[in-house]
Structure 1
């Protein structure tokens, strides 16, 4: 089955042999999600927030466009996951989430962790760190000015000069 996501956010995951969750994608409003012909099995679609979807029957062109988007997202997440430094990996993940689901302006990239329902635990799962490490790094990034708190859960990743 395939769906167009009108509202909300969905995460697709699979598991490794030790039962650890591996994120395959994050999907937001306007994205198409399909459970047809998964590249890996098992695959779980997890609603991060309340979602509104529309059932779709994909045409050949729509399916190719969906597969290109999925392949691009997998490549981006894989590239982030291969960054050795946990600090740089988390910053790269936050930047990717901001570019994909946030608001980009001349000041930088604004993202809302609460809108996406991304807790520190969820961020840790996404980038292969512990929740404690993510919490410490987020605090340090704020102190260093690499992240600016816009509200309780909104962050601004300043543009690089």
Structure 2
């Protein structure tokens, strides 16, 4: 059923980069533009990235049993909010949410760490990148620390591996963003 046929019209809200989406157990958000990261913390206080969500993805506290659970804007974000009671209209988006979560979970369990980081960059470039002359430009403001938190490692190790990937020609920097090069296998 098209979203236009929903009984309750969506409420659109704008959030700026680094903002946190409010906790609402009775709301689902569909991302119209921008990127959101879902996250939690371990008992030791380590940040854990649970997923990266972009245009068309549905997110919300109602989709998770993890506590604590937060949704942070990695870019400026425009979202449409819908009552959780209308979740039946989002079956396809919720299935995609599950599939994406499992893809990221598989990447996190790859060894060695250099291959894990490479696969994460490829995955991110496929989901959030756009074609440029020499590969896929990852227009996502991720820091080395955020990549490290996603992969359960440290920033120094991520920086070292990124330098190696750049030396191997698998990635290069363009306008402070990464490009996963076309001649690399992705």
- TM-score (norm: length of structure 2): 0.75
Out of 109, 124, 135, the position equivalent to 2:159 is: 135
Superposition deviation, residue 122 in structure 1? 0.7
My pick for the range that moved more, 34-43 or 117-126, is 34-43
Runs of 4+ in 1 over 4 A off after TM superposition: 104-107
Q: For the pair shown, which has the larger CA radius of gyration, 1 or 2?
A: 2
Question: Which string of whole-angstrom CA distances, capped at 9 and with x for unpartnered residues, describes residues 29-83 of structure 1?
Answer: 2222122142322211111122111212353433422331221122111101111
How far residue 109 of structure 1 moved from its aligned partner, in angstroms, is: 2.7
Out of 26, 49, 61, the position equivalent to 2:88 is 61
Q: Distance in 2 between matches of 1:85 and 1:57?
A: 42
Number of equivalenced pairs: 158
Q: Which runs of 5+ in 2 are unaligned?
A: 1-26
Summarize the Cα distance change of 1:3–1:128 in structure 2 as closer, same or farther, 3 Å threshold.
Answer: same
Structure-1 separation of matches of 2:105 and 2:162:
22
Where does residue 20 of structure 2 map in the other structure? none
Partner Cα distance (2:67, 2:115) in 1:
30
**Which residues in structure 2 correspond to 1:67-86 (within 5 Å)?**
67-86=94-113
Task: Identify the residue that residue 168 of structure 2 maps to in structure 1.
Answer: 144
Deviation at 1:107, TM superposition (A): 5.0
